[in-house]
Amino acid sequence: MTQHSQFVLSETASVAHQFLADLRQPEVQSDRMRFRRNLERIGEILAYELSKVLSYESSQIETPLGTAQASLLKQQPVLVSVLRAGLPLHQGVLNYFDLADNGFVGAYRQVDQTADSGFTIQFDYESIPDLQNRPLILIDPMLASGRTLVKAVKQLKRYGNPSQVHIVSVIAAPEGITNLKNELGENFSLWLGAIDDHLNEKSYIVPGLGDAGDLAFGLKK
């Protein structure tokens, strides 16, 4: 499994800064299709960067005029997203790993006054392929407290022990990153759009962008 590493898209110069900026601007957020597309585009860019650390093998491709050498993935990753907010970002990653197997988990916050944060993370749906000795890419657009992703990684181990764990998020809070390191050790890699300043008292990312699921798909009761 990979040792901990971290890639942050906002720390590099690219047009992705525009996509990140548009995600945060209320006047742009009102266009749900554009909001989903910007999540998707960031997913594509992060997938490309992530692809550079996977394992490849040489292969021969027979063209109409001869033989070409190509380096192809030794093994396709498994993409697992946290519903519902993760769907547009998942699609962006899938656009680049189009032969990957896919899984989904449903997770939500439940009020619990006995918990330190005032809530617990509940899972009510899982559809997961075999993960044994396969690269796992876990996708959730907002890495806030990190509790959802920690619980997801631990529960997914019931479907096999991944060879690598890669976590893809658009915006992260420092507290969430620290929590992942404390709970998961060094055996994962982070692929992030940006790291924001802090969590507020409700464990929301500041400055963040709002509720990604609501902005992408509409308000829920």
- Give the pLDDT confidence of 4-16 residue by residue, as tens digits: 799 999 999 999 9
What is the C-alpha separation between 34 and 23, in angstroms, rounded? Answer: 9
Lowest mean pLDDT among 23-37, 59-73, 111-125: 111-125
Can you give the pLDDT at residue 122? 75
Q: Which residues contact 87 (CB under 8 A, 6 or more apart)?
A: 81, 216, 217
CATH code, 38: 3.40.50.2020
Into how many domains does the chain fold?
Answer: 1
CB-based contact 40:16 (threshold 8 Å): no
Indicate the helix (H) or strand (E) that contains 147.
helix 147-156
Report residue 62's pLDDT band, with 50, 70 and 90 as the boundaries. Answer: very high
- Please state the rounded mean pLDDT for residues 77-94: 95
Check whether 88 has a pLDDT greater than 90: yes
Q: Is the residue at 65 inside a domain?
A: no
What CA–CA distance (Å, rounded) separates 108 from 210? 16
CA distance 30 to 92: 21
- Residue 79 and residue 182: Cα distance in Å, rounded? 24
62 lies in a domain?
no
Dihedral class, residue 111 (left if φ above 0, else alpha if ψ from -120 to 50, else beta): beta
Establish if 64 belongs to a structural domain.
no
Task: For residue 193, give the H/E element and its range.
Answer: strand 189-195
Q: Average pLDDT, stretch 49-70?
A: 97
120 domain residue, yes or no: yes
Look at residue 123 in the predicted model and tell me its pLDDT.
76
* Dihedral sign computed on CA atoms, order 121, 37, 126, 160: negative
Model confidence over 128-175: pLDDT tens digits? 999 999 999 999 999 999 999 999 999 999 999 999 999 999 999 999
Q: pTM (2 decimals)?
A: 0.91
Q: Residue 6 is which amino acid?
A: Q
The end-to-end CA distance of the chain, in Å, is 40
* Band (2; pLDDT cuts 50, 70, 90): very low
- Give the residue numbers spanning the domain of 152: 5-55+73-217
Q: What is the DSSP string of 6-27?
A: EEEGGGS-STHHHHHHHHH-HH
Provide the mean pLDDT of the chain: 92
Across the range 20-42, mean pLDDT stands at: 97
